[in-house]
């Protein structure tokens, strides 16, 4: 059974904290941070679902320089409290869906929390993900890239199908496209199993940090929120069945 929905707050405004606590009903916990480093540590060590930001706080602005809002909003439900309607429009353009001004915070923060909680609960009821058919290119060692199909993928690895038979325990490079843009994701991986018909299970050993966040956000949008406690690139994670 899933743990309680977890929220994190960065700011110093006691009124905002009071409205958050008022909106956090049964089964929701909230953890407050007073610095950008504290919030990042919470995000790295907890499975946070909702992030609430006091945009007037200098620590929030410092956080945004390290972890842009456009990226944050792809990984979490973000509630931002801002000074005025103009700031609401500006942050809305960055992908923040839940915005309130200080003047309306008392009413809107509990309502926005309820909306986030309803969406999270809905996603938890969705069926497990199904197989996919994602074109990819694989290179074993220093050889040439050859085509493959990714039939299952997670943050830690993938299952592929290819006409080439890969060697178990070999190191490979994987390149694939995960959204509608022309940008590709590149990963290093280890072959953890193979079979006689060209299937193989790959364990990612390294993905560039920015690309790992793109993969994480894409998986969240595609399959429901997959929120692992770390935002760092994967290194030597335990092999999973693919």
In a domain, 237, yes or no: no
Asked which of 75, 92, 124 is the last residue of a domain, the reply is 124
How much is the mean pLDDT over the chain? Answer: 78
Where is pLDDT greater, at 211 or 188? 188
Q: For the chain, how many structural domains are there in total?
A: 2
In a domain, 81, yes or no: yes
Q: Which residues pair with 201 in a beta bridge?
A: 159, 193
In a domain, 114, yes or no: yes
pLDDT of residue 53: 93
Distance CA 170, CA 42 (A): 36
Mean pLDDT over 23-39 rounds to 82
Confidence of residue 27 (pLDDT cuts 50, 70, 90): low
57 and 16 in a single domain? The answer is: yes
In a domain, 83, yes or no: yes
pLDDT of residue 180: 60
104 and 70 in a single domain? The answer is: yes
pLDDT of 228 strictly over 70: no
117 and 139 in a single domain? The answer is: no
pLDDT of 40 strictly over 70: yes
What pTM did the predictor assign? Answer: 0.51
DSSP class of 4: P
Distance CA 66, CA 41 (A): 13
116 and 142 in a single domain? The answer is: no
Confidence of residue 242 (pLDDT cuts 50, 70, 90): very low
Asked which of 89, 106, 124 is the last residue of a domain, the reply is 124
Residue 213 maps to which CATH number? 2.40.10.220
In a domain, 238, yes or no: no
109 and 153 in a single domain? The answer is: no
Confidence of residue 238 (pLDDT cuts 50, 70, 90): very low
Confidence of residue 109 (pLDDT cuts 50, 70, 90): confident
In a domain, 228, yes or no: no
145 and 212 in a single domain? The answer is: yes
Mean pLDDT over 62-82 rounds to 81
142 and 43 in a single domain? The answer is: no
In a domain, 231, yes or no: no
58 and 149 in a single domain? The answer is: no
Half-sphere exposure of 118 (CA within 13 A, CB side): 7
Q: Which two tokens stand for residue 210?
A: 């920015």
In a domain, 239, yes or no: no
- Of 48-52, 107-111, 170-174, where does the model show the most confidence? 170-174
- Tell me the residue range of the domain where 43 lies: 5-124
The string of pLDDT tens digits covering residues 116-130 is 777 676 555 443 333
Q: Which residues pair with 81 in a beta bridge?
A: 54, 100
213 and 113 in a single domain? The answer is: no
Where is pLDDT greater, at 132 or 138? 138
The string of pLDDT tens digits covering residues 170-210 is 999 999 987 665 668 899 999 988 877 788 889 888 888 77
Residue 31 maps to which CATH number? 3.40.50.2300
107 and 10 in a single domain? The answer is: yes
pLDDT of 141 strictly over 80: yes
Strands 171-176 and 185-194: antiparallel
12 and 116 in a single domain? The answer is: yes
102 and 34 in a single domain? The answer is: yes
Confidence of residue 147 (pLDDT cuts 50, 70, 90): very high
List Cβ neighbours of 122 (8 Å cut-off, separation of 6 or more): none
């Amino acid at each position: 059974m899933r743990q309680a929905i977890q929220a994190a707050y960065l700011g110093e405004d006691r009124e905002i904290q009071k409205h958050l606590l008022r909106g956090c009903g049964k089964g929701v916990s909230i953890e407050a941070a007073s610095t950008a480093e504290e919030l990042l540590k919470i995000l790295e060590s907890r499975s946070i679902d909702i992030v609430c930001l006091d945009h007037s706080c200098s620590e929030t602005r410092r956080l945004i320089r390290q972890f842009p809002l456009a990226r944050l909003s792809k990984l979490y439900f973000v509630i931002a409290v801002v000074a005025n309607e103009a700031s609401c429009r500006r942050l809305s353009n960055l992908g923040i869906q839940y915005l309130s001004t200080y003047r309306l915070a008392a009413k809107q923060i509990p309502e926005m929390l309820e909306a986030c909680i309803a969406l999270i609960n809905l996603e938890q009821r969705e069926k497990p993900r199904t197989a996919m058919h994602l074109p990819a290119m694989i290179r074993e060692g220093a050889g040439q890239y050859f085509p493959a199909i990714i039939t299952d993928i997670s943050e830690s690895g993938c299952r592929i199908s290819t006409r080439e038979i890969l060697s178990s325990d070999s190191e490979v490079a994987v390149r694939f496209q995960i959204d509608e843009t022309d940008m590709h994701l590149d990963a290093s991986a280890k072959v953890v199993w193979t079979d006689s018909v060209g299937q193989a299970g790959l364990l990612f050993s390294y993905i560039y940090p920015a690309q790992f966040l793109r993969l994480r956000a894409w998986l969240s949008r595609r399959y429901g929120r997959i929120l692992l406690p770390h935002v760092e690139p994967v290194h030597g994670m335990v092999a999973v069945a693919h």
